[in-house]
Structure 1
C-alpha cells in the first residue's frame, strides 16, 4: 500500500478564497447564491460519451503493474461506453474552490462534471447553490446501498446534491506499548504522562468536533459557547506546553518515530500505520468520534450531468465499492460491499471485511456522529479564535 504524502483531511485552513465568497453571505441568501432552477445547462451526455472527473491524488484503485491504469474506471467505460477524463488535481479544498469559484459566481461552465471535496467544503457548495440536484431515479445503487448513517447530513438533507465518495473517522492514534496504558477518552490526552507528547490537527474543520465531544457536547447541534469552552481547554494546554504542536498529515511521521505518543488521527491513516507498527492503536473514544465523508458533487452547468450521475451510481454497486475499499482502506459508504470482500478467495482481502475502520461494527457505530458544519456566518469568528491558538 503506498504511503500517503498528505491526507485529504489535513490541509491548513485560512479564510482564503473560500472565505472571500463566504463573506458575501449575510443573514439571508448569499449574494452569490444560484437558485435550483438556474443550475443546469444543456446536457451533452447523449451525444458525447465522456465525463470529466476530478479527484484527490491516491484516492482510487490502481493496477499493481501499471499505476496509470485505474481498473474500476476502465470497467465503467467497458460497461457503459463512457470515457472518463480523470484528473488528480485537488490538493487542497480552498485552493480548488478558489480555482473554480469565479466561474460559478459568474454563472459560467467550470469544465468539471464531477468533483470530490471534503464534506465541510461540499456544505459550502450546497449553501451557495453551486451543486446540482441529482436524479436519484437514475441511481438505483445509491438509493439501495448508501450507508444510512451518511444519508442525510445537516448541510444536504436527503443527500439531494452530494454523495459520499469515501468516509472516515477522526479519532485518536497512540503507541500503547510506549505509553504503557490504554487511551479510552479524549480527556486521556490531557493526562500528565503525555505532556509534550500530544499533537492535534491544525485545521479547524478537522479538529473541533472530536475535541468538543471530549467535553460531552452533542456535535450534531453544538453552539458557539461549546466551541469557545473547548478552545479555552486547548489554549490552556498549549500554554502548559502539553500539546507538542499542531499538524497536518505529518502527524503520522511523528507517531511512527516516537516523537509523540498520542494524537488526533484519521482511520484511513491508522490502517497504514498499524501495518508498519502493530503497537499503534486507533481508538474511537467513549464519548464518541466524528464520522465524516468526502463528497461527490456535480457543479453547476456541468456538460455531462447524466454521465456523471451514471459514474456515481457505478461506484455504489457493492462489487465496485468493495474493489475501491480494498485499495484505499477508508470507511466504505456502501455497507453491502462487506459481504463481497468477505467472500474473496484472497485471505488478506477477506480480512478487510472484519476491519472496523473500513466497516464499523455496531458498537463503534453507536459512538460515531456526523457533526454539524460551521456556517459562513460563524466561520470568521471561530476561525480567528482557532487560528490564534494554532499560530496560523
Structure 2
C-alpha cells in the first residue's frame, strides 16, 4: 500500500512545495536558444549489441519487486533479453529531476541515462526543445498495436514518436459517503452550500485548472486566454467565498477518510490504494483529466535499442497486467485486462485500473504550453492558491 501511494505523493508534494515557496524561479527555463538541440545531430552511437545493459530512472515504488516465489517483470526482462538493468528510483519530482539533467541535455552532453519516466507536461517540453531521441518504430510494434485509444493522438506527441506511457491516472472527484451525499460535478464542489469549507483541491495546476476549465465549458486541450481568465476567476471566487478549505498534495486522502473534509478533487490511484469502502471516486459530469508518466529516451543515450526492447516488452499484455496488479494505476496497454484473469482475477473489473470505454470517453488532457504560458498560468494559479 505504501508503494502505491508514494509515487503520487512524491510528485504532488514536491511540486506543491516548490510552488509554495512563492517564486516562479523554480520553473524550468527551456526556451533560451543555446539550450535547444536537434536530436538528429545530438545522438550517440548505440552500443546495445556489445553492451547488454540499460540505465533507467523512474519514480519510487513504481514497479513490481521480486518475492520469495514471485519473479518481477524487471527480473524477467533481464532473463529474457540478457540485458542488465541499472534501475534507479531517483525521479522524486518533475522539477527536481529536470534540475539533475538540464545542464547536460541543454548542452548536448550525456545525462548518463538511457531512459527516464516523466509526466506529460515535462515530456512535452523536452520534445519541443529537442532533448529526446525519436523511437525506432520498427522495434516497438507493441506500442502502436496495444496503446489504449484514449492515450493516442496527444497534441504534444501525436504519433507517439518520442514517448510511451508507463502508467496513467485520472483526476476527478472523491467524497466520503458516510459524511455527505453524492457529489456529481466539479461545479458542485465549487459551489454547493453543504460543502462550504469542507473541500480540498489539488496543488497541481494542470489538474485543478483542467477541471475548472471543463466546468466553465472550455476544452483543457485547446483553450484561449479569455477562457483561462474566466476559469481562474471562477476558482478565485470559490476561494474567496470560503468554499475551499485547502489546496493539497495527496495527503487529502487521510483528511477525507477522517472527515476533516467531506469531498475533494482526487487522483484515481489514491482512492484505489486507500481501499476504504466509504471513499468513492466519481467522474465529474463535466469530464475528468487523464495524465501519464512516459518512457523517454534522452539525447546521447548509448543503449537505445535496449531501451526500445524494454518499451516493447512492457507493452505485452501479460507483462502489463503483472505491473498493473502491483502499482494500481491505469494500465495503458490493450489486452492487459484479459491477461489479468491469470494474474489477479479480483482486479479484472477494477475501474481504477481498467476504466470502461464510457469512462475513458470522458477524459481530457491539458494542452502543451509554451514557456511564457507556463510562467503566466502558474503565476495566476499560485496567486489564487496562496503559493
Shorter-chain TM-score range: over 0.9
Q: 2:44 & 2:7 partners in 1: Cα distance? A: 35
Which residue of structure 2 aligns with residue 136 of structure 1? 137
Which residue of structure 2 aligns with residue 213 of structure 1? 214
Q: 1:6 & 1:294 partners in 2: Cα distance? A: 11
Among 342, 352, 361, which residue is 2:347 paired with?
352
Alignment of 1:1-392 (within 5 A): 1-2=1-2, 4-5=5-6, 7=8, 9-10=11-12, 11-12=15-16, 14=19, 15-22=24-31, 24=32, 30-65=33-68, 71-179=72-180, 181-189=181-189, 190-273=191-274, 275=275, 277-344=276-343, 349-392=344-387
CA contact (8 A) 1:9 1:118 kept: no
CA contact (8 A) 2:317 2:339 kept: yes
Q: Aligned to 1:178, what secondary structure does the other structure show?
A: coil
Superposition RMSD in Å: 1.7
For structure 2, the residue ranges without an aligned partner over 5 or more in a row are: none
CA shift, 1:239, in A, is 1.6
Provide, for residues 354-375 of structure 1, a one-character-per-residue CA deviation record: whole Å limited to 9, x for no partner.
Answer: 1121111122122112221232
TM-score for the superposition, normalised by structure 1 = 0.92
CA shift, 1:65, in A, is 4.8
CA contact (8 A) 2:146 2:315 kept: yes
Q: Aligned to 2:219, what secondary structure does the other structure show?
A: coil
CA shift, 1:73, in A, is 0.6
Q: 1:115 to 1:359 in 2, by over 3 A?
A: same
Provide, for residues 202-259 of structure 1, a one-character-per-residue CA deviation record: whole Å limited to 9, x for no partner.
Answer: 1212321112111121222112222221111111121222100110121112112211
Q: 1:241 & 1:65 partners in 2: Cα distance? A: 52
CA contact (8 A) 1:17 1:95 kept: no
Provide, for residues 119-138 of structure 1, a one-character-per-residue CA deviation record: whole Å limited to 9, x for no partner.
Answer: 11101111111011000101
CA contact (8 A) 2:91 2:97 kept: yes
Q: Aligned to 1:172, what secondary structure does the other structure show?
A: strand
Runs ≥4 residues deviating over 4 A:
none
Aligned residue pairs: how many? 377
TM-score for the superposition, normalised by structure 2 = 0.93
Provide, for residues 88-117 of structure 1, a one-character-per-residue CA deviation record: whole Å limited to 9, x for no partner.
Answer: 001010010011010011110000101001
